[in-house]
A and B are shown apart, each in its own frame.
Chain A
Amino acid sequence: MKVLHDTGVLLGRSMRHILRSPDTIITVLITPVAIMLLFVYVFGGAIRVGTSNYVNYLLPGILLIAIASGIAYTALRLFTDKQRGLFARFHSMPVARSSVLWAHVATSLVSNGISVVVIILVALLMGFRSSAGVVAWLDVAGILALFTLALTWLAVIAGLSAKSVEGASAFSYPLIFLPFISSAFVPTANMPAVVRAFAENQPVTAIVDTVRSLLNSAPVGNEIWIALAWCVGIIVVAYFFAMRAYRQIA
């Protein structure tokens, strides 16, 4: 089918961009791995999380940080295509308009999927162990994909409406920071009341707790529904505004 063919060709193009820009790979992989090393080997001894394996505790949050920094580049790629007139070029060709946008979305899903796998492999070397079965792993993959999709649509809005390179990626800074005020590094129970209230009611905590439970074969409880509601809610709202921004560019 023409739409799939075109999306595939354009996906190949963006993946080439990623392979050719070392800073994308460094920021998206090395930074989360460095944070993981720092927390496990430097701060880890002082952190009490109720399990003996801190890597197990930490990994879900690290994965979310990697995804949040990955989508900054999604926004950047969209901005560059707009700036360089490539959207105009593709849109004046017999190429489905949706292919042009979905290729960017697919690139985001594929590249973040790769970073997630690489970081899990590094975590395995650092002592991460999981008792999860195939179904639980598939659930984890699904939730992470939904989280990536949610942030990707936010990135589309940012990339298409930005006026400068900085503007295109600045929106991701607060997203990268969110895991630090959540249950990703330490349990929320010991946080001061105000911080704790924020931490327990923002999406990262629900997602991190769900992924952690799934990986440790623990019951997930209500958290999974809260996590899904956040992801789906963000996707619906962000998709609406992203399509509006997309219609406004030539």
Chain B
Amino acid sequence: MADSAIQVNDLRKSFKATQVLKGVDFEVRRGEIFALLGSNGAGKTTTINILSTLLKPDGGSASVCGFNVVRQAEKVRERISLTGQFAAVDGILTGRENLVLIAKLRGVANAHKTADMLLSRFGLRDAANRRADSYSGGMARRLDIAMSLVGTPAVIFLDEPTTGLDPEGRLEVWKTVKELADGGTTILLTTQYLDEAEQLADRIAVLHGGKIIASGTLDELKKLFPPAKVEYVEKQPSLEDIFLAIVGQNAGQNAGQRESK
């Protein structure tokens, strides 16, 4: 119990006639990256919205940092941050203003200093005083994630953080997520992509048909399937390898500078 950050028991939710969650169970430990893997419409966003207190479940229970998401919603909100499926940034404000806004709302002592620190950390310093509407998809996503870090919440929800991003933006977000987890933050992310779960997650749960049909570490999940046959094939570069080779190898490091031109 003590090292559990999120607990979900028999969670149920329907929208009118459609039963989306039919008794979902999982547990996320403190400090780990947990991936909720599911295809489009599986109920990932619904689950995240319940955990971040935006939506009330019909049945079952869920708690974050030991607080019930329905009865102690205020306590939960003080400990979490939601990065939704689409970057929720204020397009008319600049990157810095977006961060300062969130810092003020969270009652952070030095809002401007916090903003500057996050801008540097996410490679957005050069773009800090430009309106967020002028950012590329990857930059907007980075700002979005930076906004979620204001006030250092214990648990961060990332709903499909890389959907709609180009391969470069995707790698940047992956790097960010790994760094966050290294800092001790608990991360629950959702994804439709196996390779993303494989890359990032300590543990994975597969949401399908309204239930968790499998969960565990990657190795545990692999054991559920027939052992791999060993075959020798010539490895062709994937389209992603080729794309990344052409646009530059060090995408992660100085993407901010290049994109902010």
Residues of A within 8 A of B (CB): 6, 9-10, 13, 16-17, 20-21, 84-86, 88-95, 250
Residues of B within 8 Å of A250, CB to CB, are: 49, 54-55
Chain A residues, CB < 8 A from B53: 91-92
Asked if B82 is at the interface of the complex by the 8 Å CB criterion, the answer is yes
Give the 10 A-B CB pairs with smallest separation, nearest first.
Answer: A85-B88, A92-B82, A89-B88, A92-B52, A250-B54, A94-B77, A94-B78, A9-B104, A85-B84, A17-B92
CB distance from B122 to the nearest CB of A (A): 17
CA of A20 to CA of B94 in the docked complex: distance in angstroms? 11
Least distance between B99 CB and chain A CB atoms (Å):
13
A-B contact count (CB 8 A): 59
Chain B residue with the shortest CB-CB distance to A13: B101
User: Any chain A CB within 8 A of the CB of B222?
Assistant: no
Q: Is B42 an interface residue (CB 8 A)?
A: no
B119 contacts chain A at the CB level, 8 A cutoff: no
Within 7-24 of B, Cβ neighbours of A (below 8 Å) are at none
Which residues on B are within 8 Å of A, measured CB to CB?
Answer: 49, 52-55, 74, 77-78, 80-82, 84-93, 97, 101-102, 104-106, 147
Closest to B77 in A: A94
Q: Which residues of B contact A9 (CB under 8 A)?
A: 101, 104-105
Picked from A13, A20, A85, the residue with its CB within 8 Å of the CB of B86 is A85
Least CB distance from A13 to B in Å reads: 6
Instruction: Say yes or no: A94 contacts B74, CB within 8 Å.
Output: yes
B-side contacts of A91, CB under 8 Å? 53-54
Q: Shortest CB–CB separation between residue A249 and chain B, in angstroms?
A: 9
Contacts of B91 in A (CB 8 A): 84
Min C-beta distance of B200 to chain A, whole Å: 22
Q: With contacts A13-B101, A92-B53, A250-B54 known, is A86 near B90, CB below 8 A?
A: yes
Expressed in whole angstroms, the minimum distance between the Cβ of B109 and any Cβ of chain A is 14
> Are A92 and B81 neighbours in the complex by a CB distance under 8 Å?
yes
Question: What's the Cα separation between A90 and B54 when bound, in Å?
Answer: 10
Taking CB atoms, residues of chain B closer than 8 Å to A6 are 105
Chain A residues whose C-beta falls within 8 Å of the C-beta of B78 in the assembled complex? 94
A10 neighbours in B (Cβ, 8 Å)? 105
Which residue from chain B places its CB closest to the CB of A96 in the assembled complex? B74
B159 to chain A, nearest CB (A): 10
Given that A86-B88, A88-B84 are contacting pairs, would A93 and B93 also be in contact in the complex, using a CB cutoff of 8 Å?
A: no
Q: Shortest distance in angstroms between A82's beta carbon and chain B's nearest beta carbon? A: 11
With the chains together, A86 CA to B97 CA distance in Å?
14
Bound complex: CA A6 to CA B55 (Å):
22
On whether the beta carbons of A93 and B89 are closer than 8 Å, the reply is no
Give Cα distance in the complex from A231 to B235, angstroms: 74
Given contacts A13-B93, A92-B52, contact A84 B102 (CB under 8 A): no
Contact check, B92 vs A88: say whether CB atoms are below 8 A apart: no
A95 to B73, CA, bound (A): 11
How far, in whole Å, are A84 and B85 apart by their CA atoms in the complex?
10
Q: For B77, list chain A residues within 8 Å (CB).
A: 92-95
Residues of A within 8 A of B85 (CB): 85
Which residue from chain B places its CB closest to the CB of A83 in the assembled complex? B86
Set of chain A residues within 8 Å of B84, measured between Cβ atoms = 85, 88-89
Q: With contacts A92-B54, A93-B77, A94-B78 known, what are 11 further pairs, Cβ within 8 A?
A: A9-B101, A9-B105, A13-B93, A13-B101, A84-B91, A85-B85, A85-B86, A85-B87, A88-B88, A89-B82, A94-B106
Task: Please report the C-alpha to C-alpha distance between residue A95 and residue B82 in the assembled complex, in whole angstroms.
Answer: 13
Give the residue name and chain of the B residue nearest to A9 (CB): B104
Q: A88-B54, A88-B84 are in contact. Are A93 and B102 (CB under 8 A)?
A: yes
- State the CA gap A16–B77 with chains docked (Å): 27
A92 to B105 Cα, complex, angstroms? 12
In the bound complex, do residue B101 and residue A84 qualify as a contact, i.e. CB atoms below 8 Å apart?
no
Contacts of B105 in A (CB 8 A): 6, 9-10, 90, 93, 95
A9 to B90, CA, bound (A): 14
Which residue of the partner chain B has the closest CB to A18? B92
B163: min CB distance to chain A, Å:
14
